[in-house]
Structure 1
Amino acid sequence: MLKPRELGRLARITRIFVKHDLDEFVTALHLFRPYRLILRLMPWRLMRGRPAPRGVRLREALEELGPVFVKFGQVLSTRPDLLPEDIAEELAKLQDQVPPFPGREAARIVEEALAAPITERFASFDSEPIASASVAQVHIARLGDGTEVAVKVLRPGIESVIERDVELLYVVARLAHRYLPDGPRLRPVEVVDQFRRTIRHELDLRREAANASQLRANFAGSDLLYVPKIYWDLTRRDVMVMERIHGIPISNVEALRQAGVDLRRLAHNGVEIFFTQAFRDGFFHADMHPGNIFVSTDGQYRAVDFGIMGSLGEEDKRYLAENFIAFFNRDYRAVAEAHLRAGWVPADTPVGEFEAAIRAVCEPIFARPLRDISFGRLLLQLFQTARQFNMEIQPQLVLLQKTLFNIEGLGRRLYPDLDLWVTAKPYLENWARDHLGPRALFRVLRQELPKWWEWLPRMPGLVHDTLARARDGELELEWKSAEIRQLRQQMRRSQQRMYWTVAGSGLLVSAAVIWTVGGYPLGDVTLGGLFGSALAATGVFFLWRGRPTTGA
């Protein structure tokens, strides 16, 4: 049962949607449909001109509804797997700008958070903010030693405002789940859950400070990216103090030219920063729009606002690297198989059909020059195609796609002839060699060696016991079904492959141990090295015998 206050807010949403010619949303959600009919008969409706595109109308409606709805629209813009492309692109333009609250109120919040008069913590504190958003605003101050800092302060009472509007979003989400034809697939309640988690994280400025500290550590000493220092002794849940960043806004291309910045190098550095964050660190700045990026006079990127960060696991990195490389080799079969290996699409997905769908989407892209190909759009097309095969898009991959899209836009605004593949291909190929080839195997062996050392002496006995039990029939299953009986021979072949694989793996582990320990020198080699090599070669042969074969 809706509360009177919620009914009033829903009526306001209906009025604003109708005002912006978004009647289809009101109808689809069953929002006060009689009220909508009354609104449609108002005289000002007869005087309206040709309506703007629906994405523009929806963006303007969300801006009129207020800051929480603006932020919700921004979150939705990162979910192209849920929205039509025209709406997602337009919502990405939403600006989180609201009038500032009084500077004296900001000073009071800082004093309460730091439990001291502001004059004890800062030599000066500018009451006029330099930036103001829906959740917080930023003031400039100086420490006692003269260091200039930026002080981010949460808006007073913002938590109650957010909770009120989020509860209203849940009401709308439940209506969407109930009445929209695609409601169950779009999972609107889960989308609001994601938004609630995101905005709650933004309400704890210590999280943003921790993000900045991690990114700063990742790029310590780098000429590519500078991340400001966090002053932890002055940072609390509702106050964050960090080093002030000076530089030229990256959107001011003319000022960059006048400063003598090499725009071509700057554009390529942006791409390198992105791939370094994603593939080296698995931790990336996910809000790299022009307002958050500055450039020093020597061409170094300087980032601010670390409220939204993304992270990638090893499987995510493998998925992206395999797909990018396969795409640019136009090997669509490899793209389809990479999806299956990663588990992003159901295991019973017809590979041939999936491959054909990917080819139909991607071949037109390759009709253009390589330098005009957009990585971000490529990922977007991939997500939209995979959605037809019940792929559940992972939030971290969607954040990455949005970030890549921003980086591409920045890069090509700086240098229109930017060829992302020149920077990206060597990076991806080097990463693949290190993480998908023999180097990766030996790196894992070195990492796991201390664990294996403990149970290695027991391994020959375990292998012997398993093989003996299989020989004596103790591992056989009791076959009841006639259909399963028909597969018995195939399962036996699989069991034999397992024996070869176990034995081969054991020999490779033993070889790695022997190589590590070494042995008696024989000229330029050691006896241990020769013996280890022999074991490794035998292990590789056993693994080859245990490989899956067609029709097995």
Structure 2
Amino acid sequence: MKVIPKETNDDIKRINQIYKVLKKNDFGYLIEENTFFKKFPFLRNRKKSDDDKLPDETIPIRIRKVCEDLGPAYIKLGQMLSTRPDLVGVEISEELQKLRDDTPAMDFDEMKKVIESELGSPIDEIYDSFNEMPIGSASIAQVYTAKLKENGKEVAIKVQKPNIEEIIKSDLKLMKFLAVRIDKYLYKTKIYNLPSIVDEFERSILKEINFEEEVRNMEVMAKNFEDVSYIHIPIPYNDYSTKKVITMELIDGIELTRVIKSNCEKYDKKLIAQRGMDSYFKQVMIDGFFHADPHPGNIMVYDDNTICYIDVGMVGILTDDVRGNLAELILLLYNGNTDNIINQLIYMDIISPTQNTPELKADINDLMKKYYGAKLKNANGSIEDLVKAMINNDIVLPREFVMLGRGLTLIEESGRKLNPDFDTGDELKKVAQKLLIYQASPKRAFNVTSNFLLEMGHLAKNLPNTMNSTISKLDDGQLTLNLKLEWLMEVAKQITIAIIIAAVIVGSSIAIFADRGPKLFDISIIGLIGFVFSAALGIYLVIQYLMMEMD
């Protein structure tokens, strides 16, 4: 008798659970109409009545319910998709934003085992006191408060739930399995590119369940804000932090959500809005390292109006070049020239030339009329609407661009709630201008040159090995060159002559404009000779080129 591995049995049971949840929410056809799954015995003889099918407008709600019913991995998948309207559509992404990650707390004895196993010591040897009642419980982790024995500091401890990594990796395997089969056998789902969605989610969730990533993010962000007195990032205690446990400074503040609703005079709401905007623009435009989910629940406020960013497990990273291109795009948006905006989007590889359609141009024109008439005023929602314009034209945006759009939208929304006169337009323009000035500064030029020289050094260092490897392949007959050496030599010679011609022309021009030395017909003789010499070389080069073409 053939023994079926336990892992395979578990997978079959999980697929059956997924099917039941899908069927309950009227998505059973995703499996029932998939010819691959018709072979599964537990799916045979199941009938679906058309009377049970809900109207299409309920699809976003049903998708959210599926995520909630299937547990942690699917809740996180839904939350990720809520930030990707370009992949799933605006209606679905907005509905998925309602997903709540609050779950019933696990028994403390189970969580205690994780802490002691990860830190390698009993809790009472590490902490003077430990509050067994969590202050927060989500699908992946629970958060407790305690006092460190080492220094008496009040701390927060984020603890990963037992076996959550194994559960998520098991569900990821099934997600990939289902995504590939459904995408292959069910044509109507191809527009969503399910395998690509699952691959992106896998990268995101595996980083999120590795708490060491979050500790590194905290340290980077703290370094970036070390000279900004009104921004604080929690201090992690590395000696008491691992892949599954983070011990960090306990923040003595309240959530921005409560500040927005509060009428307490000690909170200067206009100042908090300004600081939130300035700090986020700095993250995006200056640091290139930004909080990917700055909703009010992830921002704490101290009594002195200092802002603290928490839960930095998910961040966006923008390279120096991308930030420069983004600054140019922002200024073009400010100026309101549709053609220039589209050209910039093409240059940034956000859209391709074939996607530059009349419909896209019309949508961006409408956006300009709405927000960018004479000047950028009342720009709340402008970034979000730009993303929607891309989505309406079937453009899949780079992940970081969508994260940035969502982050700016959240900051705008919070700012408006704190201060009805909150206006991001002029401030965003100023930051973009500063960034472009920096891009042209000698300091950046020095950095770019240094990087170039470093790359050239690496190239020179690796060149002997590369040549040896190439020669070995030639000796072994593994590499074939289909080039004429004489032709290459001739091309090299022509390139050399062309460089000489360019240099002589430049030198001759300088001699003429310098207005010095002997002259003929009021023209510098040295410059004139240079141009004649350049012309002769140019004629020779053309003749040589024609001869090569005839050969």
Residues 184-232 of structure 1 show CA distances to partners (whole Å, capped at 9, x for unaligned) of 5643223212212222222221111111111111111423321010101
- Aligned residue in 1 for 2:484: none
Choose from 86, 91, 96 the match for 1:86: 91
Q: Distance in 1 between matches of 2:454 and 2:98?
A: 56
**Matched residue, 1:458:** none
Aligned to 1:114: 119
2:209 to 191, 203, 210: 203
> Deviation at 1:29?
5.5
After the TM superposition, which of the residue ranges 281-290 and 11-20 deviates more from structure 2? 11-20
> CA RMSD, aligned part only?
3.8
1:473 to 1:186, Cα distance in 2 relative to 1, 3 A: same
Name 1:443's counterpart in structure 2: 444
SS at match of 2:145: strand
In the alignment, the residues of structure 2 paired with residue 442 and residue 498 of structure 1 have an alpha-carbon distance, to the nearest angstrom, of 32
Within 5 Å, which residues of 2 pair with 1:337-416?
337-346=343-352, 348-349=353-354, 353=358, 356-366=361-371, 370-384=377-391, 387-388=394-395, 393-416=397-420
CA distance in 2: counterparts of 1:64 and 1:96, whole angstroms: 12
Contact 1:248 1:255 in 2 (8 A): no
Asked if residue 235 in structure 1 is aligned to residue 245 in structure 2, the reply is no
User: Measured at CA, do residues 452 and 290 of structure 1 come closer, stay the same or move farther in structure 2, by a change above 3 Å?
Assistant: closer
Query: Paired residue for 1:56, among 50, 56, 61?
Result: 61
The one-letter code matched in structure 1 to 2:294 is M
Match of 2:549 in 1: none
**SS of 1:344 mapped into structure 2:** coil
Given the alignment of the two structures, is residue 125 of structure 1 paired with residue 130 of structure 2, yes or no?
yes
- Rg: which structure is higher? 2
Offset, 1:315 = 2.5
Tell me the SS of whatever aligns to 2:248: strand
TM-score relative to the length of structure 2 = 0.74
Letter in 1 for 2:425: W
Match of 1:294 in 2: 300
5+ residue gaps, structure 1, are 456-469, 478-491, 508-552
Name the amino acid aligned to 1:443. R
How many positions carry a matched residue from both structures? 465
CA distance in 1: counterparts of 2:241 and 2:301, whole angstroms: 26
> What is the one-letter code of the residue matched to 2:416?
R
TM-score (norm 1): 0.74
> Following the alignment from structure 1 to structure 2, what is the Cα–Cα distance between the partners of residues 290 and 450?
39
- Residue in structure 2 matched with residue 527 of structure 1 by the alignment: none
CA gap 1:86/1:352 in 2 versus in 1, 3 angstroms: closer
Structure 2: distance between partners of 1:51 and 1:77? 19
Q: Hey, what does 2:432 align to over in structure 1? A: 428
Q: Using the alignment, how far apart are the partners of 2:8 and 2:144 within structure 1? A: 39
Kept after mapping to 2: 8 A contact 1:376/1:408: no
Aligned-partner Cα distance in 2 for 1:427–1:174: 44
Residues 75-121 of structure 1 show CA distances to partners (whole Å, capped at 9, x for unaligned) of: 11222221111001111221112222111222222222222221111
Match of 1:220 among 204, 216, 226: 226
Unpaired segments ≥5 residues, structure 2: 457-486, 510-551
SS in 2 for 1:380: helix
Q: Which amino acid aligns with 2:127?
A: F
SS at match of 1:370: coil
Alignment of 1:132-147 (within 5 A): 132-144=137-149, 145-147=151-153
Task: Please give the secondary structure, in 1, of the residue aligned with 2:316.
Answer: strand
Report deviation, 1:277.
0.2
What displacement does 1:382 show?
4.7
- Whether the 8 Å CA contact 1:177–1:189 is kept in 2: the answer is yes
The percent identity for this pair of structures is 27
Query: SS at the partner of 1:89?
Result: helix
Name the counterpart of 2:474: none
Give the conservation status (yes or no) of the 8 Å contact 1:201–1:207.
yes
Give the match for residue 547 of structure 1: none
Kindly tell me: are residues 501 and 114 of structure 1, through their superposed partners in 2, closer, same or farther at Cα, counting changes over 3 Å? farther
Matches within 5 A, 1:478-489: none
